[in-house]
Chain A
Amino acid sequence: MASPMRIRATDQDGVVDVKVLMRHVMETGQRKDAEGKVIPGHFITVLDAKVNDKVVFTAEFGPAVSKDPYLNFKLKGSAKKGDTLAVTWVDNKGETQTDTVEVK
């Protein structure tokens, strides 16, 4: 079961700084278990950030992004203080998680 993301969005002089910390194993599909069997890949593929249903930022991840991914990006013009920012990720098994935060 997916855990909620930790999101922080702060408006500083018109630039909204967004930090997202996700909980995810980000298994590469390259590793083997003790019996030598390949552990299947399990990783986040697409992350969308939306304000008022409009996509303001998209990230696509490969398995090379670290476990419990961290993402930091900046918006200038597409978000402001008081807006609700919704972040959604989807992984390669179709699991998904959405969390929202108010821009501070």
Chain B
Amino acid sequence: MNLQRRTLMQMTALVGLMASAGLMTQAEAAQWEKAAFEAKSVDDVVKALGGSAPTVSDKVTLRAPDIAENGAVVPVGVESSLNATQMAILVEKNPSALAAIFILPAGAEAWAATRVKMSQTSNVIALVKSDGKWFMSSKEVKVTLGGCGG
């Protein structure tokens, strides 16, 4: 636990340093939801994204395998019949829960897919923001080989 904390702090310091050195422009640094990506738990991520407890909804569809043989490459997808403006994919037991956020301007469908790493068997959560509220759907994915090993 302590070690993870230290790693995180080093990373934070590094990013801060890069921002001040001008390696990252202010706009880019601001656009990436740093607090949300550093949050450990699902609740903290939702809070960092400016929401409260998400509602479980059958209008949010999470596509993920039942069993992932290789935790380093787990295909996941999210789609929704809601009028979504933002979507996110979270892995509950990863060191930081949030894996990816998708921002949907008008003209983009509420549909996205990517591949994520999973350290261990865990719930994968899809979040969808519609009308300022967060909705979610989750599924347990069993991992036979973790994706965060050295």
Contact = CB atoms under 8 A, between A and B. Distances in A.
Interface string B95-131: 1101111111111110111111110000000000000
Interface of B: 4, 7, 10-11, 14-15, 18, 23-25, 28, 31-33, 37, 72-74, 77, 91, 94-96, 98-109, 111-118, 147-150
Interface residues of A, number: 41
Contact of B73 (A66, A75, A79): A66
Contacts of B149: 31
A76 B106 CA distance: 9
A26 B99 CA distance: 12
Please list the 9 inter-chain residue pairs (A to B) with the smallest Cβ-Cβ separation, ordered nearest first: A78-B107, A58-B103, A64-B99, A94-B23, A74-B109, A66-B115, A77-B107, A72-B113, A60-B101
Contacts of B14: 40-41
A29 B106 CA distance: 35
A73 B102 contact: yes
A31 B94 CA distance: 13
| Secondary structure type dominating chain B contacts | mixed
B29 to A, nearest CB: 9
A70 B108 CA distance: 18
Contact of B32 (A26, A57, A60): A60
Determine which residue in A46, A55, A66, A74 has the highest number of CB atoms from chain B within 10 A of its CB, and name it: A66
Given A60-B103, A77-B106, A65 B96 contact: no
B86 to A, nearest CB: 9
A16 B55 CA distance: 30
B114 A71 contact: yes
Contact of B106 (A26, A69, A78): A78
A62 B95 CA distance: 11
Interface in A1-51: 15, 26, 28-33, 38, 40-41, 45-46
A15 B79 CA distance: 15
B28 A90 contact: yes
Contacts of A45: 28, 32
B148 A60 contact: no
